[in-house]
Amino acid sequence: MSRRLTVACLQTRPMPDFAAARAEALGLARRAVAAGAQLLLLPEYCGGLVAEGPALHPPAAAEGEHPVVQALADLAARHGVWVLIGSVAVPGPGGRIRNRSLLLDAAGRITARYDKLHLFDVRLSETGIHAESATVAAGEAAVLAATPWGPLGLSICYDLRFPQLYRALAQAGAVMLAVPAAFTATTGPAHWHVLNRARAIENGAFVLAPCAHGPVPGGGAAYGHSLIVGPWGEVLADAGEGPGLALAGIDLEAVAEARRRIPALTHDRPWRLTAPGRAEAVA
């Protein structure tokens, strides 16, 4: 198993329909391939995103019929690269959709799928209200995916604020953690870099975080600054603003070295929480 690879996080813009999303994704994917990337990662809702008030209404289609999925599968097979489709909307239960991430191998086959666990239902201000659960059904399982370079832990955007998910993925063997996102332009300046670096440091893993940038059709905006973060917490690449790439060569031996220096993944212990008037609980 090779431990060195070149990774590209593609920074696409939120697009209102399949055709525009496909053109945006393919243009950047071809740039990444030309730059030597072996693993390409795209942002959350890279298959299209539209907001209507606090709710999201991205264009949705079944995996086998999704134009963006099909186009990226063709590209993966043509160039022999692995592609993480950060997320697309697929039909879900009760008339809602799933916010689904798909991992494609170098033959263009889907080898793993992950439905976003934590949905973005927040009130950032009187007008900055987000209610992802109004149209999206939450997933039910964490996913650790196999790649030629080592296990990849899957997550999406708001999951970033739930460190226990990444701890479980790392303790199950993840050496890379994917965080495709459409992180808001409101929270991004304060939280995006800090949270991604924290997840890398806590788990001694590479964090690969492609984030959309620019206005969301219908309202809101995504922050950009797609990141590749090393297991010591160092930012190896930052795509800044606008459409583009965060590109870096990584050596997964750095994961073993970081975990050797600080073996925190082996130091978790049961503990008790005590509070006035409350019984002790074992965590």
Q: Any idea what the CATH number is for the domain that residue 188 is in?
A: 3.60.110.10
Q: Is 46 a catalytic residue?
A: no
Q: Is 257 a catalytic residue?
A: no
Measured distance CA(32)–CA(27) in Å, rounded: 9
Per the structure, how many domains does the chain have? 1
The percentage of residues in the chain with a pLDDT greater than 70, rounded to a whole number, is: 97
- Which position among 24, 44, 46, 132 bears the catalytic label? 44
Measured distance CA(89)–CA(115) in Å, rounded: 10
Query: Is 241 in contact with 228 (CB distance < 8 Å)?
Result: no
Which conformational region is residue 249 in: left (phi greater than 0), alpha (psi within -120 to 50 degrees), or beta? Answer: beta
Q: What is the DSSP letter of 143?
A: -
How would residue 257 be classed by pLDDT, with cut points 50, 70 and 90?
very high
Q: Is 157 a catalytic residue?
A: yes
pLDDT digits (tens, 9 = 90+) for 207-242: 999 999 999 999 999 999 999 999 999 999 999 999
SS3 state at 191: helix
- Which position among 9, 24, 116, 132 bears the catalytic label? 116
Measured distance CA(223)–CA(241) in Å, rounded: 8
Measured distance CA(233)–CA(201) in Å, rounded: 5
- Which position among 9, 46, 157, 211 bears the catalytic label? 157
* CA quadruple 165, 166, 171, 175: dihedral, nearest 10: 150
Query: Is 176 in contact with 41 (CB distance < 8 Å)?
Result: no
- Domain encompassing residue 11: 4-282
pTM for this entry:
0.95
